[in-house]
Each structure stands twice: as structure tokens, then as C-alpha cells.
Structure 1
């Protein structure tokens, strides 16, 4: 055999060996992450329609029993998987969960098999002690409704709450910041570290009395501080679960992230490169971003109320355990059709349908039945529903805000309740639009859905100058955006182009000009009274009536006096000159 033949044979053999090596290269190790966020205790279908991929069909979505079935179905497609939440699992919940201190939601999530939940701001609505009860179980009373009304031995969450930036006075975190999970076996095992954080703005979104001694640290700084310990523990990659988010452009496909903006963009740009996936929430928007902050950093959010589940796949090199690829999609949790405001939303074959999970359905039915007598009680009538709010009603006067302020003034103007002359209602306290039946009836559940926080009304006395300072504070909130309070018993004008401290003018109380030196009795929630939503000016008032009237009861009583017409939007005049 010639040298040339030997060379050809050798090259052929080497090529064959290389081909064999390629053919026998081990498949990547895959790990599925199933994620939700901002469930807010919607154990029943929330009467929301999600647009199907065909872009035209709206399908019914949500409900804990259907969510359980969707997660179970998706889980079966992943030999290795974990189910996580990015906060606000509880808080600001509909009546069947909230009236039982969100114990129904914890029971449902235990049955679904959630593993980790990075707490959100609403988990602090009833204070840190009640939050820890939901984690650890027990029947200690920390809030207005009685605990353990249905489950006499409430066990708490079987999943782990995470919030590494909830720093106590001692410098420790109130809740753990990290978790480690291992997937696979032997040489095909990978380790994923999880960091859980809440938004650092939590302190301005909940009652200060419930979070005394807690400091909410910067999200990116905290995450980066926690990375080394996870690396030392063997984490091959790190996933950040964070209750903070972003805003894509309106009508963006839920599997895209066109025009993304918001706090999470800045946070992502400051993260340690070891963090390669972010599961976010808080904004109630749905998006999938395969690369942000100039690198292959996957960012996801599943909208709100359990209407979507993010189905994520992480692929690892089996030899190096390096994350080589990550993909995600948002799956619609389509259950059954339902009646929403009088119109039936039909199911669609364009989207997979999920049957109700029997075990979770039993949990939901048990609590709904217990709440039903209260929920269905008719509290009053209206000529029509207040006009739907245009997005969060945080920067303009609304019919609903005026209605609630009127109800609170009516309740607290009674001498026995403090003799209020003015009422303030914060826009963040109006959770949703007020539904009114076709016959004009309003149920307690309808009223409760608007104000599900369990706030108590108070009357405090302020000087006219102090009231003026509160009105001026509306335009000095974090981020430079106004936060307009609804008012009753008062009218005024503002001009945002004027200097700070001189933007508000023509203030009338009960039809008379405000006297800076005179005392005024003002109704507000206990949330506002201690500086909630950043209105620190309210803390300057002096207590007159400590408060025994719940905000939702004030609204229900007001609607029950006579058929109510939504109040006109004519109390606050915006005299700011048009831009340009």
C-alpha cells in the first residue's frame, strides 16, 4: 500500500471517529421552570379574556383549578422542573380568598405544588407578622378577619417565601434571600440557585405600621451580594425571582417585549453576569424578553391573576454544566366560558383547554360556598356603573374615586364618628372598577372588590396650611409622577407649571375658602393616616376618632341609602398649560 493510500485511509478513519463523537455527544440537561406572578388570590376565574395567538379570539382564562391543571400538564413535559411565583400571590384579593385572610390561596398553591415565592408588596398588606403566619401556619390573630375560620389547623405554605432585601433593624433579612435546587442525577445533575426579592418601593405601598423596622434594600445590590454564596454552594446558574417589572408597548404580544421600559430594565443592567434568568412581576404585564441588558439574559412575566403561565426551558451542557440556552413562552390558562358583565366569552380551539383539577376545585368550592351568603348580599343600587378608569387612576379625577370619597365623608361626618368636613381617598386603594348589575344592583362582593384591603376609616384634625401641604405633595411623588387624591367636601385647582409649593390654588372646603390657620376635620383610611402611598403630610394630623368603620362598609352603607348616580368629575381643575 502506498503512502498516499495510507494517508487517505488514516484521514477517513479520523473523520469517522469524529463523526462518531458528534453522534454520541450527550444531550443537554433540561430543566423546566413554570412561573406565575401577581395571582392576588384569584382562586375563582377572574372574568378576564386573553387574546389567543390568532390575534382576534378572546378566550376565558384563570381560576386556581384550571391553573393547577395547566401547570400539571406543562410539568409532565419536563422530566426536571420547578414551579415558582414572583410575588403578590396574596393581598388585594377577591372576597372568597381575602375574607379568609388568603388562607384559601395558600391551600390552593400547596395543592398546585408551588416551590418558591418571592414575596411582593401586597404580601405585606396585613403586616409582617401575618405574612410570617401564612408561611409558618397557625391561628394567631394579626388582622381584622378571624383566622382559621374554615381550616381550624391552618398549616401555612409548604413552599418557601423569599425576600432577601427585607432588612430588619438587626441587619438580617426578615425572610430568606436564596434557595438551592438540584435537578437530575449523578453526572447529569445541575444545580440552580434562586434569589428572591421584593420591590424596594414596598415601604410606600403598604401601611408603615405593618412594616416597622423593615428596610427594603436596593434590588440589584442585594442580588449581587447574594451571588457569591450561591456560587460557593455549587450553583451552575442563578435565577432571580423579583417582584418588580416593566412595561412593554401597549398591545405587545405576550411572548415579546417591544418597547420595554420600567424599573426592571435598570435592575437588569446592574446584575452580576452569574444571574442568567429573571422571573418578574408587579406591573401585571406579560412579556418574554430573550435578551436584555446587552446580553443573553432571559426576562419573563406572566401578566396577572393566573391567566398565564410562563413555560421556560433551561438547557445545560452535561460536561461543563454551563447554561447554553434558555427559551420561554406564555401559555394561556383557558378553562371554561363564563359570564362577564352579561356577555359570554366562548372557549376557543385555537388555544389548549384545561379541565379543572378536582382537588383544587374542591378547595375553591369550599371557600366560595362559605363566602357566598356575604358575597351575594345586595347592598344598594346605582343608576349606572361609574365610568371605567383609564389605566391606574393615579393622575386624574375619577367618578369612582369621588363616589368612594363621598361614601367615606358621609360615614365619618356623623358626630359619633368624628364629624369630618373633608374626605380623602388614595387612588391606589381603588383596586378595580365597580360592577353594577343590569338591574342596577351592587352586591357586597362588588363593593369589596373595589376596596379589598380591610382599611379602617379615621378622622384627624389638620390646619388649613397642613391640608394645603398635603395637596402640594401630590405632585412631588417618587418618579416625578402626580398621585391625585380623590376628595369630598373640597374643591381646588392646580397648575403643575408653577413653582413647587405654589401649584395648588382656589381651595374651598364646604364651599368656603381654605383658612390656613383654621382647624379642619378630615376623614381618611388608617393607611393614609400613617403616611401610606408616600403622603407623609397626613402624619401631621391629630387623632379625633380612632376609627371603627371599615372602608368597604362605608361604601356599602352609602349605596344602600338610595339609588346613587355616579358623582360628576368637577372637583379638581387642572389648569396646567398644554405642553409646547
Structure 2
């Protein structure tokens, strides 16, 4: 198979001369990290213009236009299509999102880690239909006879483990679709870190293996089936180097951070894979990464929430079973422009209206009026810095757990899913409703309180830069009022935080003393690689105290005093 070439100009007549036999023109559209965003959300374009982008009305219209231009068009997914969703989808167990994707003609998607948020059994229900759910208050409320997904979730690196007593996998490793007479194979993988970023009980029967090894293992089988092209769908990603000027609109960028997981994976994936559609890191890029033969190969990601659609245009030789050229670009799904032009998709408008009607009574309940227009979770959803919204959430959790003796609260930045409110949902008087708060914390984690020694707290803070959080994956825990520390990122593992610089109410913590700390149930189980929490003592689970409720209570009591101000509890040397 010839190496994929980005925007390589080869005419059809030239292709016919070089490759005997018919050549199919195939368009692949990729949607990653949709997260049930039925409605558009705020997005800043490469030119710096703020718009509303995504939403099923604009997405469906974009897909329909592509099909009109080329009937050999297929829509595929890069994972996290559901999970961590706003209230309009999340309160209905993401069933409206599955129906919307069905109606758009989505054919196949990689599994994402958030597909596993509610456990394997619930994910299989989302795939196959029915109402046998672990949350009957949400399941089958959109449709009393939920029919399931007509597309297939795939994952070559997801297997039953020995403890399950089962063999094989609940998911196919690949799907072959015939498009324009060409057999296109889509092989899937999900980040192998999934066990560290979802609740462990729900995936206790599964192993998540090396992504590149799993994909490479099925390539001989696909070659034996004489597929004409192989596209990899993977829920793992990276980011463009900070000193680069490349954006999602840059064609053929070569500035993906070399430490990014997707770069390491792409360099190992068989050259038979013509392009890699990625996700997980919520970044927009259209880059080239060398495959094992040294040839550049497309690795593309489309931001998140439906803001961008990844597009691959392939010329495929159906006789020699090989790809002639691949072109790639990221398409902005501009909701505002389509609304103005009157080109939004009417059936999707109706579906969104039905979902909104189902949740309106809860979604529109007023919570508070903030002291500023909004409180943000960081520029570009940064997870390696203290944020104004992170401070507020940590304070809310501390306030809710003081009756259990908590003096410090920790919050994982990845659990903060939106600004409060999103720019697309700003209201008069800085008003915030329940739907806005739900979008910030949609997981329904419960609170936990435990004892940690001062030394364990020091070790916990060190885990922000080590192990699974090393390199580009570092995650800065958000901390509550009265707790402060200083770190030196350039220091070696285990030496970034001096215990003398960790203070509670201005006093350095004592490594031998015990402190009562609070966190959500995800962190308490060692989530996001913060395994120190698993060594805590005198653990008290609070099953009736949901993190969302803690935040709502705190906002109602303090909303007018809360602003988009970072408190400076965490400082860098």
C-alpha cells in the first residue's frame, strides 16, 4: 500500500494511468468526543472569532451536504460520543444522542473511556437497546422502547480478563464497510489508560491492552480479506507543541508533542493503516507522523463537542486493493452561520426539541446569580493549572464534608466538564440554572472522606507529575480554601514539592500528623493515577452526598460572592 499523502495533487486520469482498474472516491467524516452535546457550544476559530459550533442540527446538515457532494461518504466516530454529557442528553442516559447519531447515519466508532462511565453492562445496553439499566430513573425516559445504536462500537484492545471467566471480547476489533464499491476497514482502539480514568467496578471484567499491538495484530487478517483501505479509529490523542503556531486548520503540521500518546502509538502502527482518526485530548490538529517505515501518515483530531468534523478524502484502487491518495482537513461546524442561512437540519431540530421538553422542568430550575458573568475552568480547558472554577468546586466539597471533619478537599480537573455557564448559555443578571451546573459535574460521583498523613499528602501532590500523569498528561488537583503549596515542575519525580511549602491555614503540614480530607468517589478509588487515596484510613463513603448536589448547595449560599478569579492557592517556582 502506498503511503498516505496529504493534499497530494493527483488527477483521476493520472491515477488510472498508474493503477489499472477503477478508482473509488471515498469521503470519511470523523466525529470525536461529542459527549452528548445535542446543542451548540462556544468555540473560538483559528482566526480568533468566537462562534457557536456543533450541535446536532448543524452536524447533520454538514454531513448531509458532504453526502450530496459525494454519495460515497461515511460518518465514523473517534470515541466518547456519550458520557460526561450536558443535562439535555445526560439526564436521559444519552439515548437522544444515540438516536441523533443513528439518524445521521453513523456507521462505526471507536470506544472511548467515557463510554464505560456507567460500566460494561450499561454500555452493552446502549449498543443493543432495552431498558435493563443501572439507572431506571434516566433510562428509557426519552423512548420507552429504547432501540439501541445502529452503529457499532469497536475496540481491538478491549478483552475479557481471566477473572471474568469469559474469553474474547464483547466488542469487534474492526468493521468493514463497502463504500463506492471499495471495502474500507475501520479498526478501533481505546486508550489503555481507561482503567485509571473510569470507576473500576464497571470494568472489572475487562483488560485494556496496548493500542498499537492490538491493531497490528488484526492487520494480517484484514489483508487476507483484501480490503482496499484501512483507517484507524482511536480514542487517544495528543496536542500541538505550545511554541507552535499550528492550529486545527493547519494542513500537514509536524508539531504534535513527541511525548503525546498518539505520536508514540502512530509510530508503531502498521504502515497498512492509511490514516488515523484520533480523539480523547479534545484538541484540533491535522498532522503528519512517521509510520514504522518512515513515511508520513495523517493523524487528525477534531477538537470536541462537534465543533469540528474530521474529513478524509481517499482515492482507492479497488483492483490492487490500495490507497492512491488521502486528503485531510478539519471542517468547522458553524451553527451560527447555518442558523442565519436557514440550513439547520429540521429533523434534528425536532429531536432536540423533544429532548429539551423532557428535561426542561429540571434543567431550567434557577440556582443562583454569580458575582461575574461566568466562572471558567481554565483557558482551553487546561488541566495543569489552578482554575477559578476548580477553586469553587473544591470549596463546595469542603463545605459539604466539614460535618465529617474534613479540613482539605481535592478535585480532579478532568471532572470539570464545562465553564459555569458556557459562553453560549450566558443569561441576564449572571443567572445560573441547574442545567448549567449539571454540565459542569455530570458524573454523579458521591463524596468520600478519609485520613491522610502529611507525608501522604506530599506524595499525593507528587503524583500530579509522575506515573500515568507524567509528561504531557500532568493533572493539577484543585484544592480548597486554606490549603496552599508551591511546586517546581523542572525538578525530578518525587522532588517537585517541598513539604515545608505545603501549608494549611498558613501553617506547614506535619508529615507525621493526620488530616481529614475529602474527594469524590472517583478519586477515592485511585482515579487519574492518584493511588495515594487508596491508602487512606478511616474511610467514610457518603452515598447520599453527590458532588453535584454539594456544588448546587454551595452556589445557592455563596453565588453572589463568586467570581472568575483564581485564588492563587497553587504557585510555581
TM-score by length of 2: 0.86
**Do the aligned residues in 2 keep the contact of 1:333 with 1:354 (CA within 8 Å)?**
no
SS in 2 for 1:305: coil
* Structure 2 residue aligned with 1:446: 436
Relative to the length of structure 1, the TM-score reads: 0.85
Q: Which residue of 1 is the match for residue 569 of structure 2?
A: 572
Aligned equivalent of 2:332: 332
State whether structure 2 residue 178 is matched by structure 1 residue 192.
no
SS at match of 2:274: strand
Q: CA deviation at 1:318?
A: 4.4
Distance 1:22 1:180 in 2: 28
- Alignment size in residue pairs: 535
CA contact (8 A) 1:402 1:567 kept: no
For the Cα contact (< 8 Å) 2:266–2:289, is it kept in 1? no
Instruction: Please tell me whether the aligned partners of residues 36 and 81 of structure 2 are also in contact (alpha carbons under 8 angstroms).
Output: yes
- Aligned partner of 1:44 in structure 2 is 39
1:228 corresponds to which of 217, 220, 233: 220
Match 1:362 to one of 332, 350, 372 = 350
**How far is the alpha carbon of 1:148 from its aligned partner?**
1.1
1:428 corresponds to: 414
* Aligned counterpart for 2:405 among listed residues 419, 424, 445: 419
1:308 aligns with 2:302: no
Instruction: Quote the residue 1:81 is aligned against.
Output: 73
Q: The residue matched to 1:439 in structure 2 has which SS?
A: helix
* 514, 518, 540: which one aligns with 1:523: 518
Which entry has the higher C-alpha Rg, 1 or 2? 1
Deviation (angstroms), 1:104:
1.0
| Partner residue, 1:371 | 359
For residues 97 and 317 of structure 1, do their structure 2 counterparts lie closer, same or farther at Cα, with a shift above 3 Å needed? same
What are the equivalent positions in structure 2 for 1:12-31 lying under 5 Å apart? 27-31=22-26
Query: How many Å separate the matches in 2 of 1:80 and 1:453?
Result: 38
> Equivalents in 1 of 2:212, 2:493: separation in Å?
34
Cα gap change, 1:310/1:401 in structure 2, threshold over 3 Å: closer, same or farther? closer
Work out the CA distance in 2 between the residues paired with 1:193 and 1:499: 42
Describe how 1:177-576 pairs up with structure 2 within 5 A. 177-184=173-180, 189-248=181-240, 249-258=244-253, 259-261=255-257, 262-289=260-287, 292-293=290-291, 294-295=294-295, 297-336=297-336, 355-384=343-372, 385-386=374-375, 389-414=378-403, 418-435=404-421, 437-478=427-468, 479-480=470-471, 482-488=474-480, 490-496=482-488, 497=491, 500=494, 503-509=498-504, 513-541=508-536, 542-562=538-558, 563-566=560-563, 569-570=566-567, 572-574=569-571, 576=573
Asked if 1 retains the 8 angstrom alpha-carbon contact of 2:377 and 2:390, the reply is no
Secondary structure in structure 1 of the residue aligned to 2:561? coil
Query: How many Å separate the matches in 1 of 2:506 and 2:184?
Result: 63
Give 1:304 shift. Answer: 1.7
Secondary structure of the corresponding residue to residue 561 of structure 1: helix
Structure 1 residues 139, 250: CA separation in 2 closer, same or farther (over 3 Å shift)? farther
User: What SS is found at the alignment partner of 1:468?
Assistant: helix
1:425-475 CA distance string (max 9 Å, x none): 111111122226441322112212211222111222334443333233233
Change (3 A) 1:573 1:75: closer
Cα distance, 1:196 vs. partner? Answer: 0.7
Within the candidate set 123, 141, 152, 1:160 is matched to 152
Per-residue CA deviation, residues 234-261 of structure 1 (Å, 9 max, x unaligned), is 2122111111223234552525243223
Measure the CA separation in 2 of the matches of 1:154 and 1:555.
Answer: 32
Does structure 1 retain, via aligned residues, the 8 Å contact 2:248–2:302?
no
Q: For 2:223, what is the secondary structure of its paired residue?
A: helix
Deviation at 1:118, TM superposition (A): 0.4
In the alignment, what sits opposite 1:134?
126
**Distance between the aligned counterparts of 1:146 and 1:253, measured in 2?**
36
Task: Supply the distance in 1 between the matched residues of 2:480 and 2:327 (Cα, whole angstroms).
Answer: 51
Q: CA deviation at 1:26?
A: 5.5
Distance 2:555 2:197 in 1: 28
Match for residue 4 of structure 1? none
How many Å apart are 1:503 and its aligned residue?
3.0
Residue 495 to residue 331, structure 1, CA distance change in 2 (3 Å): closer
For structure 2, the residue ranges without an aligned partner over 5 or more in a row are 1-13
Aligned partners of 1:486 and 1:57: how far apart in 2?
30
Give the secondary structure class of the aligned counterpart of 2:456.
helix
Gap runs ≥5 in structure 1? 1-18, 339-345, 348-352
Distance 2:19 2:329 in 1: 30
Quick one: distance in 2 between partners of 1:266 and 1:391? 24
- Structure 2 CA distance for aligned equivalents of residues 50 and 300 of structure 1: 17
Query: Within 5 A, what are the aligned runs for 1:54-73?
Result: 55=47, 59-73=51-65
1:30/1:440 CA distance change after superposition, 3 Å: closer
Contact 2:465–2:493 under 8 Å retained in 1? no
Deviation at 1:80, TM superposition (A): 2.5
What is the CA–CA distance in structure 2 between the aligned matches of 1:57 and 1:484, rounded to whole Å?
Answer: 29
Kindly tell me: are residues 394 and 505 of structure 1, through their superposed partners in 2, closer, same or farther at Cα, counting changes over 3 Å?
farther
Aligned mates of 1:568, 1:43 — CA distance in 2: 30
Q: C-alpha separation between the residues in 1 aligned to 2:275 and 2:23?
A: 18
CA contact (8 A) 1:66 1:354 kept: no
Q: 1:252 to 1:515 in 2, by over 3 A?
A: closer
Instruction: Verify the 8 A CA contact 2:391 2:481 in the aligned structure 1.
Output: no
Which residue does 1:35 correspond to in 2? 30
